[in-house]
Amino acid sequence: MPNISYNKWQKIKEAFLKSSKWQSMRQQIISRDGGVCSICGFDTSLNVHHIKSHYYFPDLALDPDNLITLCQKHHKEIHNNKTTKSALVKYYKKQYEERPIKK
Ligand SMILES: [Zn+2]
Ligand SMILES: [Zn+2]
């Protein structure tokens, strides 16, 4: 667990979400995912979600492999653990199979 207070974290996160790095990565991820929610295909109110939490894995905050486009509903559900992660895993397996290995 990162050694910072929750309040401090909130400030870091806020600044991150406003950063131009994040804004352009966000756009990139949404277009990579075809401009739709990766679970249901809905195309409005899109959020880009960190699969491995930004808090625990700050190094992955701008890693495209750690980012996924979700609609607001599914984003909420993922955070409330209502949508099983298996939906994401399934999507990810598919992505990895279809995507040429880059590293
Ligand atoms: Zn959705
Ligand atoms: Zn999220």
Calpha distance 95→23 (Å, rounded)? 23
**Ligand 1 centre and the CA of 47: distance in Å?**
10
Annotated domain spans of the chain: 6-98
- Taking residues 17-42, what's their average pLDDT? 95
User: How does DSSP classify residue 58?
Assistant: G
Nearest-angstrom CA–CA distance, 72 and 36? 11
Query: 99 C-alpha to center of ligand 2: Å?
Result: 23
pTM: 0.78
The ligand minimizing its distance to the Cα of 40 is 1
Q: What is the pLDDT of residues 47-100, one digit of tens each?
A: 999 988 888 888 999 999 999 999 999 999 888 877 666 666 666 666 656 555
